[in-house]
């Protein structure tokens, strides 16, 4: 017989809601800080212990709550922020569902302390797993402190899913970054295990906030975005990086709609659309962008934790954003690039690459894109194609050394011949392949050869990158990077892979690695991604396309090609060489061979 229908007890409802709202400590921080911002705080202190699983304490100097509200705020669907459904379409606050505090209280030991300016005394409430255990009056300055201890202590299955302390703290720091970027006028302090990680004073300009949160060196490469369409009530303001500065993932794109952080597909797509042809393919800008849009034209009530929205006029908004980005970056800039495989972003366990991405090879702005070989002169018929081996070269031993070098074409290709073929060798691709194979050999033999830096370089990262790099210091060392924690968001770089010695683009490379580490996700281990990191390193260490090579250098390059094992787990890179046989050349000129 089926069980009869019954209403679930309140506490169980809250625990179920907690499953939605409270995914990890960072979600608690988000809810608490948003509440502080909604309460007009000008100073917010976030104290974390043990990555947030031991303690999360958020204190603010906001409006505070009176006695009744201190009790009410822990009830489900209790909110001071909306009263009618019409309010949903003119939200001025970050919260409105009234389910965060009861959900958090259901899965932790929670203390609320609050005092309003008008009340003679403040109130304190202690709640364990959703049940009020203690309440009383206390004296406090105006404002609210909420303390969450032992998150998920009564739901061990969830607690088990918490990751390492550094990782959880990385999520928290990222979250604080998102919130602090859109409220520069509020002072933010973030403390982990008694160590102050961030202290952002009240700032008047977005630039200053970005410098504090994401690193001052960025400022040199940011340009202003400022576009409005008064007719549609649309405004887009903020900063985006110039095509010199880009990242391997979209993690440094911060977007806000009406002051609320969003990570929306339409918005992301519009941004990338706006910078298409300006940025290397597969690369992303650093950006902090604020879109204002009439409340009635956007629905933010889609999901409590997912950052998606719904626009009533999607394509209008899309084109407006894309146009704003395009204008800001102004057309006509192209970036040097080289093709190379990137980390497979799909889960799974293989170390394979998915797709290709264009990577920068120099910071200067000029026109050059690594050319795809296999370009054929257009002849009507018969069609002759250069034979471009897709992956592995069939040659073993001394084939490349035996070639006769004819010369160099456009400072990019070595032109050579054997007895029956004309060959073009892409010097850039060849170097990349040689470097990659060498690094792989070194890595699997223990560690990539390192070169100590005479003066350690202090490198600055954002919080999320810092957390990721801290977690992977050992594997990074095996990859050739000796990083030592220095400040809250800086590392002293003491050694780099020998292949990179003398180059100055480590910093971009480390940002790329951090960003790829962030994409690894829980299901994959760093070992699975090693090849893509080795490839990144080799790409940065190789000879540029467009570099005049001497006869000796060309000979050496060909000899190196003979020394590497092409067939060993080759990346799906570009072909290294291409060749035409004598009869094929004859056919090109419609001669019988």
Work out how close the CB of 110 gets to Mg ion at its nearest, in angstroms, rounded to a whole number: 14
| Distance of alpha carbon 173 from alpha carbon 213, whole angstroms | 10
DSSP state of 441: H
Measured from the CB atom, is 62 or 571 closer to ligand ADP? 62
Q: What are residue 125's DSSP bridge partners?
A: 112, 135
Work out how close the CB of 193 gets to ligand ADP at its nearest, in angstroms, rounded to a whole number: 23
The stretch near Mg ion (CB under 5 A) out of 91-99, 124-132, 156-164, 350-358 is 91-99
* Chain positions contacting ligand ADP, by CB under 6 A: 31, 35-36, 39, 60, 62-65, 73, 78-81, 95-101, 144
Please tell me whether residue 575 binds Mg ion under the rule CB under 5 A: no
Q: What are phi and psi of 276, to 5 degrees?
A: -60, 145
Measured from the CB atom, is 97 or 281 closer to ligand ADP? 97
Report whether 57 contacts 178 (CB < 8 A): no
DSSP state of 591: -
Measured from the CB atom, is 74 or 430 closer to ligand ADP? 74
Residue 71 interacts, among Mg ion, ligand ADP, none and using kind-specific CB cut-offs from 5 to 8 Å, with none
Residues contacting 141, CB < 8 A, separation 6+: 61, 115
Residue 168 interacts, among ligand ADP, Mg ion, none and using kind-specific CB cut-offs from 5 to 8 Å, with none
| Distance of alpha carbon 557 from alpha carbon 565, whole angstroms | 14
Measured from the CB atom, is 72 or 316 closer to ligand ADP? 72
Measured from the CB atom, is 125 or 317 closer to ligand ADP? 125
Indicate which single residue of 51, 64, 95, 238 sits in contact with Mg ion (rule: CB under 5 A).
95
CA angle 307, 313, 318 (to 5 degrees): 65
Residue 461, Cβ neighbours under 10 Å: how many? 21
Measured from the CB atom, is 69 or 519 closer to ligand ADP? 69
Q: What are residue 192's DSSP bridge partners?
A: 48, 195
Residue from 177, 257, 170, 185 nearest 218 by CA: 177
- Name the residue with the smallest CB distance to ligand ADP: 95
Residue 179 interacts, among Mg ion, ligand ADP, none and using kind-specific CB cut-offs from 5 to 8 Å, with none
Work out how close the CB of 37 gets to Mg ion at its nearest, in angstroms, rounded to a whole number: 10
Q: What are phi and psi of 402, to 5 degrees?
A: -80, -10
Burial group, residue 381, by CB count within 10 angstroms (0-12, 13-18, 19+): exposed
The stretch near Mg ion (CB under 5 A) out of 93-101, 204-212, 486-494, 502-510 is 93-101
Work out how close the CB of 83 gets to Mg ion at its nearest, in angstroms, rounded to a whole number: 16
Measured from the CB atom, is 64 or 285 closer to ligand ADP? 64
Q: Kindly determine how many residues on this chain lie close enough to bind Mg ion according to the rule CB under 5 A.
A: 3
Using alpha carbons, list the distances in angstroms from residue 132 to 32, 74, 111, 154, 216. 19, 10, 10, 15, 46
Indicate which single residue of 74, 100, 175, 210 sits in contact with Mg ion (rule: CB under 5 A).
100
Measured from the CB atom, is 18 or 65 closer to ligand ADP? 65
Which stretches does DSSP call E strand in 76-203? 109-115, 122-128, 131-138, 143-149, 187-192, 195-200
Binding mask 211-250 for Mg ion (x = CB under 5 A): ----------------------------------------
Work out how close the CB of 307 gets to ligand ADP at its nearest, in angstroms, rounded to a whole number: 16
Give the pairing of strands 260-262 and 287-292. unpaired
Q: What are residue 260's DSSP bridge partners?
A: 257
Residue 212 interacts, among Mg ion, ligand ADP, none and using kind-specific CB cut-offs from 5 to 8 Å, with none
H runs (alpha helix) in 426-523: 427-444, 463-471, 473-478, 506-519
Please tell me whether residue 35 binds Mg ion under the rule CB under 5 A: yes
Residue 341, Cβ neighbours under 10 Å: how many? 21
- 165 — alpha (psi -120 to 50), left (phi > 0) or beta? alpha
Work out how close the CB of 53 gets to ligand ADP at its nearest, in angstroms, rounded to a whole number: 21
| Distance of alpha carbon 318 from alpha carbon 551, whole angstroms | 53
Measured from the CB atom, is 117 or 552 closer to ligand ADP? 117
Measured from the CB atom, is 35 or 203 closer to Mg ion? 35
Please tell me whether residue 480 binds Mg ion under the rule CB under 5 A: no
| Distance of alpha carbon 405 from alpha carbon 442, whole angstroms | 30
Work out how close the CB of 187 gets to ligand ADP at its nearest, in angstroms, rounded to a whole number: 15
Measured from the CB atom, is 73 or 180 closer to Mg ion? 73
Please tell me whether residue 103 binds Mg ion under the rule CB under 5 A: no
For 279, the 3-state DSSP assignment is coil
| Distance of alpha carbon 41 from alpha carbon 65, whole angstroms | 13
Work out how close the CB of 564 gets to ligand ADP at its nearest, in angstroms, rounded to a whole number: 59
Residue 97 interacts, among Mg ion, ligand ADP, none and using kind-specific CB cut-offs from 5 to 8 Å, with ligand ADP
Residue 285 interacts, among Mg ion, ligand ADP, none and using kind-specific CB cut-offs from 5 to 8 Å, with none
What length is written for the chain? 593
Work out how close the CB of 23 gets to ligand ADP at its nearest, in angstroms, rounded to a whole number: 16
> By the criterion CB under 5 A, which residues form the site for Mg ion?
35, 95, 100
């Amino acid at each position: 017989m089926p069980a009869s229908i019954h209403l679930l007890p309140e506490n169980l409802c809250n625990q179920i809601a907690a499953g939605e709202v409270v995914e990890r400590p960072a979600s608690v921080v988000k809810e608490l800080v948003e509440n502080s911002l909604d309460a007009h705080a000008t100073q917010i202190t976030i104290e974390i212990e043990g990555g947030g699983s031991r303690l999360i304490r958020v204190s603010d100097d906001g409006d505070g709550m009176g006695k009744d509200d201190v009790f009410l705020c822990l009830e489900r669907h209790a909110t001071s922020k909306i009263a009618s459904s019409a309010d949903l379409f003119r939200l001025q606050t970050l919260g409105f569902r009234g389910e965060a505090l009861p959900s958090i209280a259901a899965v932790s030991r929670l203390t609320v302390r609050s005092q309003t300016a008008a009340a003679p005394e403040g109130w304190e409430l202690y709640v364990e797993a959703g049940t009020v255990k203690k309440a009383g009056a206390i004296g406090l300055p105006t404002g609210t402190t909420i303390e969450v201890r032992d998150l998920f202590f009564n739901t061990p299955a969830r607690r088990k899913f918490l990751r390492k302390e550094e990782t959880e703290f990385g999520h928290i720091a990222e979250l604080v970054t998102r919130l602090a970027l859109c409220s520069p006028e509020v002072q933010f302090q973030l403390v982990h295990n008694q160590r102050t990680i961030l202290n952002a004073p009240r700032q008047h300009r977005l630039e200053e906030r970005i410098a504090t949160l994401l690193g001052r060196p960025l400022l040199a490469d940011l340009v202003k975005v400022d576009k409005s369409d008064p007719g549609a009530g649309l405004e887009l303001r903020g900063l985006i990086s110039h095509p010199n500065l880009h990242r391997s993932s979209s993690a440094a794109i911060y977007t806000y709609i009406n002051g609320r952080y969003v990570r929306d597909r339409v918005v992301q797509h519009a941004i990338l659309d706006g910078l298409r042809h300006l940025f290397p393919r597969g690369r992303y800008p650093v950006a902090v962008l604020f879109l204002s849009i009439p409340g009635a034209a956007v629905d933010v009530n889609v999901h409590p934790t997912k950052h998606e929205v719904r626009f009533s006029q999607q394509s209008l908004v899309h084109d407006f954003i894309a146009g704003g980005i395009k204008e800001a970056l102004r057309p006509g800039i192209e970036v040097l690039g080289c093709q190379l495989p990137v980390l497979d972003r799909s889960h799974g366990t293989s170390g394979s690459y998915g797709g290709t991405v264009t990577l920068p090879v120099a910071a200067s702005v000029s026109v050059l894109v690594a050319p795809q070989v296999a370009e054929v002169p257009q002849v009507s018929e018969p069609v002759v194609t250069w034979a471009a081996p897709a992956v592995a070269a069939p040659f073993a031993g001394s084939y490349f050394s035996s070639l006769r070098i004819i010369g160099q074409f456009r400072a990019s290709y070595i032109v050579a011949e054997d007895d029956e073929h004309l060959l073009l060798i892409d010097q850039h691709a060849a170097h990349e392949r040689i470097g990659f194979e060498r690094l792989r050999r070194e890595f699997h033999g223990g560690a990539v050869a390192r070169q100590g830096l005479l003066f350690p370089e202090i490198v600055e990262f954002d919080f999320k990158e810092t957390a990721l790099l801290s977690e992977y210091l050992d594997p990074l060392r095996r990859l050739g990077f000796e990083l030592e924690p220095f400040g809250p968001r800086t590392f002293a770089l003491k050694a780099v892979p020998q292949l990179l010695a003398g180059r100055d683009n480590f910093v971009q490379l480390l940002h790329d690695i951090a960003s790829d580490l962030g994409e690894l996700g829980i299901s994959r281990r760093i070992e699975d991604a090693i090849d893509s990191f080795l490839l990144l390193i080799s790409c940065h260490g190789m000879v540029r396309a467009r570099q005049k090579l001497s006869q000796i250098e060309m000979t050496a390059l060909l000899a190196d090609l003979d020394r590497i094992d092409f067939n060993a787990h080759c990346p799906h890179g570009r072909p290294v060489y291409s060749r035409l046989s004598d009869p094929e050349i004859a056919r090109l000129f419609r001669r019988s061979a």
